[in-house]
Structures are given as structure tokens and as C-alpha cells.
Amino acid sequence: MVPKHRTAAPLVGLLLFLGTLALYYPALQNGFVNYDDPHLLDVQLFGLRPAGHHAQSVLWHAPT
């Protein structure tokens, strides 16, 4: 039998990850601000569409 804390930890991690995504989902609707510098890879991947840049930021900051 697997101890209860070993089965709960992955579930808690998944809930934290999904909660973070849900919390920061509205950031995908934001535009650019004047102090954003043009990251070359970001611009190649997403162009000047801010939602892709914000999505990448949300994923970088989501708990793992």
C-alpha cells in the first residue's frame, strides 16, 4: 500500500500548476508596455502578438 502523502503530493502540485495558469490567464489579453525589450526568440516565435509573450511568461512562473 502506498502512503497517503506520496499520492497527495503529485495532486497538490498539479492543482497548484492549474491554479496558477487559471490565475494568470487574463494576462494573455494584455498588450505590450513601453519597457518591454524585443527578445529576438520571442519575436520570432510570436511576432508582435502579445498573447504569446504573456503565455510564455505565465508558464515560466508557474510552479513546477
Domain ranges for the chain: 12-61
- Residue-wise pLDDT for 25-60, tens only, equals 998 898 877 665 657 788 888 998 889 988 888 888
Mean pLDDT of 1-6: 67
Q: What is the pLDDT of residue 40?
A: 75
pLDDT category at 7 given cuts 50, 70, 90 is confident
pTM of the model: 0.54
> Taking the CA of residue 26 as centre, how many other CA atoms within 13 Å lie in the half-sphere pointing to its CB?
1
- Reduced to 3 states (helix: H, G, I; strand: E, B; else coil), residue 32 is coil
